[in-house]
């Protein structure tokens, strides 16, 4: 089909601009000197504008619309591609190239202002940018053209923002799932905090050099099967992962001098993201559908490796001898059981990325509630730090002492809203497909023998294969055979922590 051949050629050219922009952004977030950030941000925005202009060319739009009209004549993968480009066409049709460039510059500036505000622990340095980002998100949503299937499904602008990150989800669905999760997790947390179980954690703050932490990071990535010929590990201020191109995936980690395990679990998390990208079907790239995975799908895989696998008894049993050899001074007097219990220690804390597996969900629910209030106008930006602190005190019993350990701790709001809920959806998805995995293999035995490839093989076939082809609710139902709920996640936490804490 002529239109399909033309479209794929056009998409390839766009992809090159996207890849170049991502490389520049990667540089900004890792090694770019502070003095060069503003100019590099302009370069990234320029490249993004070039990509956007290609999508606004008459020939491209003609191909997109023509394929949509010939939908019934297309193959399965061609239909997915047609749906992908047509959906994006509707979202962008009313956004001029100049407006798209303006949106991009606002986010680039917001990122730089967030970094400065974070370094100085001063929310005042970021609040103007935050206001501009929210205004952008609202304006972008108001310009979106709705498909016939979407008409009448959005109850608010925030619903549209959620849909950008997790297609098909609305506040009314998330409220039900998250409320059930909140009730279950709060009950588990409260029972743990009343427990007499004493868990040793003193060794977690022992000094481990950056060199040893780097070697540890490389070891963990290797254990999971991270292909060094198709990916690299970089040190950054904030852990993240990014697929630049088909065989070029970057993961980053950071070294916390007061908590060496942060590096371990950051690498587990980001390698999970990387494996999801590297192990997807080859034809996804040929049909330009490799970016159809939602944020929640991605977080499901990342949180699965970080927590369900990474903090399990079987995995700790397998890696502990190597960890003890890598960092003998930190672990010389620590038993395998003590290490396992320490990395599963539950205690309310300020920093989301270092939160334990149980209370982590409460960090996300707090952010979800704040986002809803910001977009409805119920919460003013000037009042955000105080409301953040109030919710932390209400849900976790602790109150941040400054903006850095409070409202400024995450980079996300410099560019994204509706992203945070996907972390909790990821936890819920991961527990749902873990319940299926357990029926198909003896997971503990597989982990104790270091056969991680058996698990990644299962994921590739059951979890990764259809991720770019189905909406998230359909995807998780295809894996588990049932509608999404918080029940598997709450049950997983209850079983695991009842054994650890004797509750």
Other Cβ atoms closer than 10 A to 334? 19
Residue with tokens 């993240």: 240
Tell me the domains of the chain and their CATH numbers: 2-145 (no CATH), 174-501 (1.10.1370.30)
Residue from 493, 499, 441, 500 nearest 308 by CA? 493
Tokens for 299, please give them: 């977080």
Q: Is residue 431 within 8 Å of residue 176, measured between CB atoms?
A: no
Q: Is residue 476 within 8 Å of residue 167, measured between CB atoms?
A: no
Rounded to two decimals, the pTM is 0.93
| DSSP-assigned letters across all residues of 196-217 | ------GGGGS---HHHHHHHH
Q: Of all helices (H) and strands (E), which one includes residue 416?
A: none
Separation of alpha carbons 64 and 238, rounded Å: 37
Separation of alpha carbons 269 and 427, rounded Å: 12
Identify any residues that bridge with 235 across adjacent strands, giving them in sequence order: 253
C-alpha 29 chain-centroid distance: 16
Q: What is the pLDDT along the chain (503 residues), one digit of tens a residue?
A: 788 999 999 999 999 999 999 999 999 888 888 899 889 989 998 999 999 999 999 999 999 999 999 999 999 999 999 999 999 999 999 999 889 889 989 998 999 999 999 999 999 999 999 999 999 999 999 999 999 989 999 999 999 999 999 999 999 999 999 999 999 999 999 999 999 999 999 999 999 999 999 999 999 999 999 999 999 998 887 788 999 998 999 999 989 888 999 999 999 999 999 999 999 999 999 999 999 999 999 999 999 999 999 999 999 999 999 999 999 999 999 999 999 999 999 999 999 988 999 999 999 999 999 999 999 999 999 999 999 999 999 999 999 999 999 999 999 999 999 999 999 999 999 999 999 999 999 999 999 999 999 999 999 999 999 999 999 999 999 999 999 999 999 999 999 999 999 99
Q: Please tell me what DSSP assigns to residue 253.
A: E
Separation of alpha carbons 274 and 269, rounded Å: 9
Other Cβ atoms closer than 10 A to 155? 11
Segment 384-393 long-range contacts (CB within 8 Å, at least 24 positions apart): 384/123, 384/127, 384/130, 385/123, 391/366, 392/350, 392/366
């Amino acid at each position: 089909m002529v239109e399909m051949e033309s479209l794929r050629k056009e998409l390839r050219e766009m992809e090159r601009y996207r890849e170049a922009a991502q490389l520049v952004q990667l540089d900004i977030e890792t090694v770019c000197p502070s003095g060069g950030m503003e100019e590099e941000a302009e370069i990234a925005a320029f490249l993004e504008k070039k990509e956007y202009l290609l999508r606004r060319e008459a020939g491209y739009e003609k191909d997109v619309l023509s394929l949509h009209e010939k939908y019934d004549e297309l193959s399965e993968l061609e239909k997915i591609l047609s749906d992908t480009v047509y959906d994006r066409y509707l979202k962008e049709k009313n956004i001029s190239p100049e407006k798209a460039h303006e949106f991009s510059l606002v986010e680039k500036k917001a990122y730089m202002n967030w970094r400065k505000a974070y370094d100085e622990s001063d929310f005042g340095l970021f609040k103007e940018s935050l206001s501009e980002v929210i205004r952008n998100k609202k304006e972008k949503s108001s310009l979106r053209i709705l498909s016939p299937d979407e008409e009448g499904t959005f109850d608010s602008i925030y619903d549209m923002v959620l849909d950008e990150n997790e297609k098909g989800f609305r506040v009314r669905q998330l409220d039900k799932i998250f409320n059930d999760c909140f009730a279950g997790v709060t009950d588990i947390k409260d029972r743990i905090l009343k427990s007499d179980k004493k868990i040793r954690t003193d060794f977690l703050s022992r000094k481990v050099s950056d060199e040893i932490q780097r070697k540890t990071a490389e070891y963990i990535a290797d254990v999971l099967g991270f292909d060094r010929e198709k990916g690299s590990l970089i040190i950054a201020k904030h852990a993240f992962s990014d697929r630049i191109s088909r065989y070029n995936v970057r993961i980053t980690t950071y070294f916390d001098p007061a908590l060496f395990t942060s590096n371990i679990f950051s690498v587990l998390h980001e390698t999970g993201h990387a494996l999801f990208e590297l192990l997807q079907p080859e034809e996804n790239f040929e049909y330009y559908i490799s970016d159809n995975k939602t944020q929640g799908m991605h977080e499901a895989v990342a949180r699965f490796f970080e927590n369900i696998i990474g903090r399990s008894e079987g995995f700790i049993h397998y890696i502990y001898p190597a960890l003890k050899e890598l960092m003998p001074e930190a672990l010389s007097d620590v038993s395998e059981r003590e290490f396992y219990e320490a990395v599963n220690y539950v205690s309310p804390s300020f920093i989301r990325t270092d939160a334990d597996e149980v209370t982590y969900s409460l960090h996300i629910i707090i952010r979800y509630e704040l986002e809803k209030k910001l977009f409805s106008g119920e919460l003013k930006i000037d009042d955000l730090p105080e409301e953040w602190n109030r919710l932390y005190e209400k849900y976790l019993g602790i109150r941040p002492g400054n903006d850095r350990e409070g409202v400024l701790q995450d980079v996300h709001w410099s560019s994204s809203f509706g992203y945070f809920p996907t972390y909790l959806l990821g936890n819920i998805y991961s527990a749902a497909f873990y319940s299926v995995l357990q029926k198909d293999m003896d997971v503990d035995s597989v982990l104790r023998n270091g056969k991680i490839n058996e698990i990644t093989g299962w994921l590739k076939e059951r979890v990764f294969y259809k991720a770019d082809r189905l909406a998230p609710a359909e995807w998780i139902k295809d894996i588990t055979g049932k509608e999404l709920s918080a029940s598997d996640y709450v049950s997983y936490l209850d079983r695991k922590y009842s054994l650890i804490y004797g509750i």
